[in-house]
Structure 1
């Protein structure tokens, strides 16, 4: 696993990520399981204050593994009957593009674009010009090079920015969308206000996001544990509920045109079959490549091959102890989502379709009104 990292981005970056979560800041070679399972509210609030840095440190650690294991799209998809995993991804992207109202020539902002896989898909499908925003310098460098390699440099551009302080003037974009990224903002309302500011009046805003569903119970210890695992395993500092997302949109004045948990569209198997490593479900999905991906994530494969091999390498001194922590981090990343999906207390695909009112400016402008940027 460590070999997937560019030079200098392995152990040091893992240490930088774990220091945000471990209660002993000098112990960053392994995961503090108690701290990530039962965090105090004070600890969660302290992390929320530095969510941008935590997100950067997280993706510096995991991006190479994501890209090797799952390609250029760092998001889930509902399964489409009789389709391969790749075909399901394409179907899902086309559905989101249609819901988002993207058209040729539009100037569109992708909030939390990763290395730009979905942005390039959207540009090819719709003919729109996509500006992707990410807080990772590595994502920008890698993503813009991939766009150039695919001949899409004139259609897709990635820029580095904190999405709470977007470096664009008021009313710059014809549309906005996000795919499993807006959840990184601990306060949804603050983010929605900033997105509204850069949209033209009447512009559509559509996003699929990670949320705790209506079935999540804050008083349930098991539910809180799973939420904490999801947060740690995915670099999140506060998982919001569906209700909080909905209320935030209405508070800042977006018109909510529709909402749907698109995870329920998945068939013939639930969306969480992959992060759960369910090889029995994977048999039902056409395509050997998709099956192999799930097989390498399965508990059986890890118990019989991956963990014994990694422990042996560390024991022999061939690899450092951090390799085991990286493996555990990926366990929390995948399994927590799988457990949350199985319990139906979590979904990564809750979609809101919104629109900025077409009337006059109503308070969303401010930072650029006097010519001042960020």
Structure 2
């Protein structure tokens, strides 16, 4: 494994996460498909109470895998003709910061900062100071190391904490943003209000987030199942719904200035072509490194890899948890791709 893998990365980390998604606490080595796909309202409410722990357990498990397979930026981006996946991601972060009205010299809060990929892009491009908050100690450790390596320790700092209980005084930031992180809060309005508390009067609040679209229907079992898959695959406890997000922004005292659905801005390929493993588009997007990223998620390749792992497990060369982890990451990528194709799930920008 790569040297940036945490010291405690083993089956125990997987077990810690899976125990939140099973009806049999004595079996946390395999996926409980019924509990994942058809969680009851009571089970989901119980998980919401533990959202912070579940999110931390999830990212302790997947962050090293994300970084190895996708890079330092843990988010989707709209595609731009002529640019590779990596270039699209960086270009999007810069456009997003412009949308958020980031200016030189500002002190900006990054909510759910991960290992700091977007924070470093924004701090370097706009010459501002970014304070990232995450509930993962591993994110703080790894993000701090990467930031030091990039020579940006004077511009980007990391704090461990809960963004529903921000450890900052009132009116202490010139602006705040988030990239695919506020969806981890069980109730959007609670985090929107807490962010408003730490912002100076008139400061911006802009976020790019996962959401179920207006097409999502809670009365359709297939829609509910796909939402549950996305939640499990991404460590979420209550995926936000776009109409409710709009209401919560207003209830928290903001004015919704702009809303941008990534599904409508990605070209020529859909935003989810990468996690879908669509090698037809991968051939046409520049960069062999990006092609390999997508190829590894191509269903035939994943099926073959899974078969190889199962054979190695059968003969005792690998623990069975390796297969379980591969199954779990299927939900992470394919759940998002399926929801995107159905039009019921999208990453969305909201600017207030």
Could you say which TM-score interval applies, normalised by the shorter chain? over 0.9
Q: Distance in 1 between matches of 2:271 and 2:262?
A: 10
| Residue 329 (structure 2) aligns with | 330
Distance 1:3 1:12, change over 3 A: farther
| Residue 129 (structure 1) aligns with | 129
Greater shift, 45-54 or 79-88, is seen at 79-88
Superposed CA deviations along residues 225-246 of structure 1, whole A, max 9, x for unmatched, are: 0000000000000011001111
Q: Secondary structure at the match of 1:260?
A: strand
TM-score by length of 2: 0.98
Q: Distance in 2 between matches of 1:80 and 1:277?
A: 18
| Residue 110 (structure 2) aligns with | 110
Q: Secondary structure at the match of 1:202?
A: strand
Instruction: Give the count of matched residue pairs.
Output: 352
Superposed CA deviations along residues 65-88 of structure 1, whole A, max 9, x for unmatched, are: 000001100000000011111221
Deviation at 1:316, TM superposition (A): 1.2
Q: Secondary structure at the match of 1:318?
A: coil
Q: Distance in 2 between matches of 1:26 and 1:262?
A: 41
Q: Distance in 2 between matches of 1:139 and 1:312?
A: 34
Deviation at 1:2, TM superposition (A): 10
Deviation at 1:263, TM superposition (A): 2.9
Q: Distance in 1 between matches of 2:211 and 2:169?
A: 30
Superposed CA deviations along residues 256-294 of structure 1, whole A, max 9, x for unmatched, are: 111110231111110111111111121121111111100
Distance 1:3 1:105, change over 3 A: closer
Structure 1 position 193 matched with structure 2 position 193:
yes
Give the 4+ runs in structure 1 shifted more than 4 A. Answer: 1-5
CA RMSD of aligned residues (A): 1.2
Deviation at 1:5, TM superposition (A): 4.3
| 8 A contact 1:172–1:198 mirrored in 2 | yes
1:1-374 superposed matches below 5 A: 5-304=5-304, 306-348=305-347, 350-354=348-352
| 8 A contact 1:29–1:322 mirrored in 2 | yes
Unaligned regions of 5+ residues in structure 1, if any? 355-374
Superposed CA deviations along residues 127-176 of structure 1, whole A, max 9, x for unmatched, are: 11000000000100110111111110000001100000000000000000
| Residue 370 (structure 1) aligns with | none
Q: Distance in 2 between matches of 1:4 and 1:223?
A: 37
Q: Secondary structure at the match of 1:302?
A: helix
| 8 A contact 2:130–2:155 mirrored in 1 | yes
TM-score by length of 1: 0.92
Deviation at 1:6, TM superposition (A): 3.1
Q: Distance in 2 between matches of 1:136 and 1:8?
A: 14
Unaligned regions of 5+ residues in structure 2, if any? none
| 8 A contact 1:77–1:263 mirrored in 2 | no
Q: Secondary structure at the match of 1:88?
A: helix
Q: Distance in 2 between matches of 1:10 and 1:277?
A: 27
Q: Distance in 2 between matches of 1:7 and 1:142?
A: 12
